[in-house]
Structure 1
Amino acid sequence: MKAGINRDDLLAWFRTVDSGPFHSVSCGERIHGPTCDMGALLAAAAACTENVEITPTLYVLPMHSAVEVAREIATLDMLSGGRMNRVALGYGGREQDYQALGATFKGRYGRMDGQVATMRNVWSGAEIIPGCGPIGPQGQRPEGPALLAGAIGPKSIERCAQWADGLYAWSGNGETEELANAFALADAAWERAERNEKPYRMGGFWYTLADNGQQKLYDYVYEYLDIAGPEIAAMMAESVSRSSADGVREALDNAEAAGCEEVFLVPATAELVEIEAMAELLLKRG
């Protein structure tokens, strides 16, 4: 989501991530701003890596056709050799992105419930249009990948408990309480939904290990949220501080304490040091 990224930058990132102590590589979906297409970028990552999982975080599903997303996910699973084990889905809060794609913002919560069912039908090989046969390539598993809900509020988490396999919880500054509260809501919702397994716990936070990191972190978060207005953008940008090795280690400890099974580290710059220094930090952390 940084302006000026080119092919060489991306290839260097993919190869460095794949050779490091990392579990997965990810990309988010955003329409406005200098953003690459998430599906195309993850396809490149799938083709250029051998070890890490490929994890979209996340598809704003109600902006799209469920059939098209299901085909894309199955294709990414094929390109990666079956390394697409988890996919995060969310409702999205940027009405402007919906408008740009000609999608309806209203009713997106209820719409996604049906879309998830459609996607699983596609992956199972069921006909969507009678007499026309299955759609898309056959994935590594007929049930498709595990689906994580990128949800925040109690009502949306409650709704997602009916179909999701876990929760992708976000804390911009990697705070224990924020992550733990989200997982507690998920645990309770899964129990009320009479789910047999506990929800998978994935978290995420912003960071930078680049020089002059705090300013770069502020600028990144401000630019990312500028579409919501300058007051919200400034408030969020002022709330993040993971711009040093000690700060990142603390956020990782927080995520572990909150019960994260996996955490996505979202860098504020496109500098390769973000991965190289993080790899070194993780190896020392053990």
Structure 2
Amino acid sequence: MNIGIGLPIGDPATLLTWARRADDGPFHTLGLLDRLVYDNPEPLVALAVLAGATARVRVQTEVLLAPLRDTALLAKQAATLDRMTDGRLTLGLGIGGRNDDHRATGTDPRTRGRRLDAQMATMRRLWHGDPYDEVVGPIGPVPTRIGGPQVLLGGFKPAALERVARWGDGFLAAAAPSWAGGLFDTVRGFWKEYGREGDPRLVAQVNVALGPQHVIDDARTRMHAYYAFTGTPDRMVAGLLTTPAEIRAALTAYADLGVDEVMLYCYGQDPDQVDRMADVV
């Protein structure tokens, strides 16, 4: 089972330090969240910079809110980043849950799921090198892998889990092991229904903070602000793992569920957490 680092979003200028330390450590992937109406870096731009500053570690959006973006441009951006990193991009996609993000982009939150389905159909076609439509030709570059970069789809509702089998290469679950197991089973069931070969890639995300009390307090404060829109930020903050024993227990539980990778997502800004987590894993 691989272990990745979910990067903090509070200060984009620190992310190069995080990325270089992770690249030198045992970590497989760097992940970055996406919101629009928030003080966070745009993930495709930020991950392009980080990929250029690293040699080995993969870069992953988790999850990029595809319905907020123009489809053809997103396909081109993802293919470019994939090609320039020699296939190190994993494109995690989802629909998001904030109305203000949709208002800022002029998109309709009521049709976001259907829009993502249509986007995936178009992007898969473009990544195969096919024309955009009967009038507009192909939109390059062709990604490293024909058919596009690895796509993980996130979500919790049945329609989102079915979407994994229809369009994705795997599933990204931001859920505790006690909840994630049922989601994984549902995804596997849809995978078989659609006659997909092999198994879906399963990636879990868990929130962590390691270090002195001020590091943990910083993480809790930032998590609370990030999840305030849900109306239940205290519940999210309560799930933060803050000790090596808690993190190891979660990793063991995810491994027992057959997870391929766990993303240790950080909200606290101290980059020394990379080294602390390397000691844990």
Would you say same fold, with TM above 0.5? Answer: yes
**Aligned equivalent of 1:186:** 187
1:167 maps to which residue? 171
CA distance 1:250–1:220, change in 2 (3 Å): farther
Please, which of 16, 24, 28 is the counterpart of residue 21 of structure 2? 16
Higher normalized contact order (CA 8 Å, seq sep 6+, divided by chain length): 2
When residues 90 and 243 of structure 1 are mapped into structure 2, their CA distance, relative to the original with a 3 A threshold, is: same
State the distance in 1 between where 2:128 and 2:159 align: 29
1:220 aligns to 2:225 (yes or no): no
Please give the alpha-carbon distance, in whole angstroms, between the structure 1 residues aligned to 2:84 and 2:211: 32
CA separation of 1:271 and 1:71: change in aligned 2, threshold 3 A:
same
Cα deviation, 1:10-54, whole Å, max 9, x if unaligned, reads 221111111110111111111122101111101101111110112
Map 1:1-286 onto structure 2 (within 5 A): 2-3=9-10, 5-7=11-13, 9-84=14-89, 86-130=90-134, 132-171=136-175, 175-212=176-213, 213-229=215-231, 232-237=232-237, 239-282=238-281
8 A contact 2:218–2:269 mirrored in 1: no
Instruction: Give the counterpart letter for 2:149 in structure 1.
Output: P
Q: State how many pairs are aligned.
A: 273
C-alpha distance 158-12 of structure 1, shift in aligned 2 (>3 A): same
Instruction: Report Cα offsets for 1:55-114 as digits up to 9, x if no partner.
Output: 211111111111111111111112212212x32111111121111222111111112111
Query: Unaligned regions of 5+ residues in structure 1, if any?
Result: none
Q: CA deviation at 1:146?
A: 2.2
What CA distance in whole angstroms lies between the structure 1 residues aligned with 2:254 and 2:235? Answer: 22
Normalised by the length of structure 1, the TM-score is 0.89
Tell me, what secondary structure is at the counterpart of 1:26?
strand
> Conserved in 1, the CA contact under 8 Å of 2:210 and 2:243?
yes
**Could you list the per-position Cα deviations for residues 193-230 of structure 1 after superposition, in whole angstroms to 9, with x for gaps in the alignment?**
2222221111111000021154334323211111233x
* Contact 2:34–2:62 (8 Å) recurs in 1: yes
Q: TM-score normalized by structure 2?
A: 0.91
Q: Distance in 2 between matches of 1:153 and 1:190?
A: 15
2:219/2:269 contact within 8 Å kept = no
SS of residue matched to 1:89: strand
Q: Which runs of 5+ in 2 are unaligned?
A: 1-7
Instruction: Decide whether aligned partners of structure 1 residues 93 and 255 sit closer, same or farther in structure 2, where only a CA change above 3 A counts.
Output: same
